[in-house]
Structure 1
Amino acid sequence: PERRAVLSDFAPVPYDRLPYRSVLVASSNDPYCPVRLAGAYARAWGSELVRMSDAGHINIASGHGDWPLGLALLASLTGQALQPKEALATAV
């Protein structure tokens, strides 16, 4: 974000360990965050890193709609099985 004008609202990126369990999902071809940088963030934050192959930037505009893996990762953090509507309410 510090070097990409379109992401400047996210800068500066904190490098402190997060005080809770976390998961960082990264794509091998994300145009905004190279997977190596995502790995550095995950290490700094103490996050589990999930690498996806050729998923682009993981958002709706990239064609990601319902996302079972994302729901499963969220459920792993909450310790409960979530249905799609419950996941949305939990994430907000």
Structure 2
Amino acid sequence: METRISSKGQITIPSEIRRQLKIHTGDALLVKSVGENTIMLELKKKALPGSQETGEDILKATAGLWKDRTDINENFIRELRQADHRRLEELLGE
């Protein structure tokens, strides 16, 4: 599959690949240069409950992500919470 780099240096990972790898909005990817013309993206492992990552670490890493959103309302927040709940169940294998 082919993708292009935007004027802001961003790339879009095709939805089929995101679904296959279970990559979701806000997930962290590690970017590595591999050879002269190759880069590698690696999904950063998610912190599970009981990990050393603190709420402060999470807030620092995600601060400002939604500052430009204009579509945030009660329905959006409800859907986001439901999606987070499903992802947590998936991570915990429930």
TM-score calculated relative to the size of structure 1:
0.21
Greater fraction helix? 1
Structure possessing the higher radius of gyration over alpha carbons: 2
